């Protein structure tokens, strides 16, 4: 996403990149970022906690006004858990990513059916 941020900013669009992987973000060096120290898959908060999600985004969006130098990262003051035990587990158990299949991976069969129907309709349009 940092590469996209750099192109958007070069095209005249101001960007703020959220990140939960500080070392990767520092290397890619996007114009402006806000670091949330949460496990991957929670870049803008915890599920079912709209007040926390709002607080995180409000604090992050302030970075637009606060950061003045290209490549700066705002450190957000939120913590996932008091003991931060999740940090020891991240990628520690080997590679648990799923196989890299090259066909659409639907969340449900119902989604697949709806998408295939929509495609069929598009084909029969004049």
Partner 1 sequence: MSAPVDYITRIRENYARLGYPTYAWVDNREPPRPPAWRPLPKPLSRCRLGLVASGGIYVSGQVAFHWKDDASLRAVPTSVRTEDLRATHFAYDLTDARRDPNVVFPIDTLRRLVAEGVVGELASHAYTFMGGIYSARRVNEELAPRIVERLRAEQVDASLLVPV
- Contacting partner 1 within 65-124 (CB under 8 A): 65, 70-71, 79, 84, 87, 90-92, 94-95, 97-108, 110-112, 114-115, 118-119
Burial degree of 36 (CB within 10 A; 0-12, 13-18, 19+): buried
Which two three-digit tokens encode residue 74? 């705002």
Which DSSP state fits 57?
H
By C-beta, is 101 or 123 nearer to partner 1? 101
7 phi and psi angles, rounded to 5 deg: -70, -40
Looking at residues 30 to 69 of the shown chain, list those that interact with partner 1 (rule: CB under 8 A): 30-31, 35, 37, 40-48, 50, 53-54, 57-58, 61, 64-65
Supply the minimum distance, in Å, between the C-beta of residue 73 and partner 1. Answer: 11
By C-beta, is 109 or 126 nearer to partner 1? 109
Among 10, 120, 123, 124, binds partner 1 (CB under 8 A): 10
């Amino acid at each position: 996403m940092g590469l996209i941020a750099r192109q958007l900013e070069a095209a005249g669009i101001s960007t703020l990149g959220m990140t939960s992987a500080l070392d990767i973000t520092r290397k890619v060096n996007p114009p402006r970022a806000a670091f949330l120290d949460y496990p991957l898959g929670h870049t803008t908060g915890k599920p079912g906690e709209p007040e926390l999600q709002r607080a995180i985004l409000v604090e992050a969006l302030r970075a637009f006004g606060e950061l003045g130098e290209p490549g700066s990262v705002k450190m957000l003051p939120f913590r996932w858990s008091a003991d931060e035990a999740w940090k020891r587990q991240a990628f520690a158990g080997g590679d648990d990513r799923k196989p890299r299949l090259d066909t659409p991976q639907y969340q449900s069969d119902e989604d697949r059916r709806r998408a295939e129907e929509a495609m069929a309709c598009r084909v029969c349009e004049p």
